Each structure stands twice: as structure tokens, then as C-alpha cells.
Amino acid sequence: MQINRLIVKSLLPGSAIACLLSGTGLLAQTLPLQPNLINFNSPEGERLLLKSKSKQDYWPLSIQFMTQNSQAYCGVASMVMVLNALAIPAPADPRYGPHRVFTQENFFDNQQARSVISPEVVGRQGMTLAQLGQLLASYPVKVQVYHAAETSLEQFRQQVMETLNQTDNFLLVNYLRKEINQERGGHISPIAAYHKGSDRILILDVSRYKYPPVWVKTAELWQAMATQDSVSGQTRGYVLVSRD
């Protein structure tokens, strides 16, 4: 029988982590990581979080952490996490009434979101960086879209540190997996922490059936965002989301 479980390692020497996981044995089934990536669910991964001074987004995102419903729904799952973390007024979901919460099933109940791209199309091919920004903007949040070609590695690093030192704003990254030695196409997930000493960013990967959250070098993630999306013809990049 599958259960939901909250893994919490207490504040003992060398260990402090809180990560919502769904389903038993989930991490054991993920693909192996290459040496350039650090598994969050490892002593070194935990140490980086403990030592990080830029991790304000980790706590609210970890509470809302979820697995994408399908292999093309990474953007939807990421947006749902962020909207719930920002406590934006949510649509109804008959499963949870009278309570309201964003889910991957009700995200497109907003007609403005459907006018950007339909859930059926997203289910087949995912979404572009621009569509990610437009979908988020269909809700009462402030959205800034950054294509990698229009910024720089240093600007991205500064944006990461600033955002992760603040509350009520989040960064979603759109990157090509194979550039960080993963399999293999475009992907979207939120980032939750930055460790300055190692210059690594923690990606809370929403495809938890495939990969665990990982710490990746900032320059490597930047290169993965600087790749061209074949659908839009533009580079990938990142989106900053905050309260309107």
C-alpha cells in the first residue's frame, strides 16, 4: 500500500532537512546521478542546505512539493507549487471542498490560462518559457520572464541570491537536462536554495519519479538555460514570480 510520508531529520549535528515525498521507495527508483550533481538526499546535500545563507524559498516550497502528473506537466506542477506557496486565492477542487487549493487538475479552470495554451496541448508537448510566464500572469501575481540570451551568468547568480534571501517571491528555471548530464529534454522546476561556497543551486525537481532534488553548479545550470527551445526558437531561461 502506498502512503504519503514526511521525512524530517531533526537538527542534530550534520543533519537538517525537511522534504515532502509521495509514495514509498520513491527515491530508490530514480535514475543515477552523474558526479557533477549532488543528491539532496545525501549527507553532502544536507550539509549544503545547512550551510546555505540563501534559502528562504526552501521552506514554503518544501511544504508544497509535488510530483508532476505526467511527463509533460513539469511547468504546471511548478506553477501550482509556487501559487500555493504564495497563498494566492485558489479555484475550487471538488475533491477538497469547501477548501480551496491549486492542483494540477484545476490550474486551467481559469479561462485566461486556457487562452494561452490548452491543458491538452501542454499534456502533449509541455510549454515554452514565454507560455510559463503568461500562464502565471493569468493569476494575480507579478511575473518577470528572463531568456538566457537577454541576461548573463552573473545577473542570474545575483537574481538567485536576492530572491532566495527574500520571502514571497520564487524562481522557476527552464533548462535542458542533458546539459547538466541528465536525461534529457527541456524541463521546468523551482529552485529553493543557493550555497555560495560551492556556487551551487538546489533544484526541487518535480519529476520525482525520475530524479531527486539536486545541487547543480550555477554555471552549469546557466548553460542548460542558454540552450534553444525548438518550439519557440528562443533560449530557455527563468521566471521570477512574486505577489502582485
* Residues recognised as catalytic: 74, 187, 205
Residues 227 and 237: their CA atoms lie apart, in Å, by 9
For the packed helices 218-225 and 153-164, what is the interaxial angle rounded to 10 degrees? 110
Burial class (CB in 10 A: 0-12, 13-18, 19+), 41: middle
**Inter-residue contact 190 to 61 (CB < 8 Å):** yes
Burial class (CB in 10 A: 0-12, 13-18, 19+), 167: middle
**Inter-residue contact 193 to 201 (CB < 8 Å):** yes
What is the grid cell recorded at 173? 528555471
Chain position carrying cell 487562452: 115
Residues 82 and 64: their CA atoms lie apart, in Å, by 8
Residues 139 and 44: their CA atoms lie apart, in Å, by 38
Chain position carrying cell 555560495: 196
Contacts of 158 (CB under 8 A, 6+ apart): none
Residues 16 and 25: their CA atoms lie apart, in Å, by 21
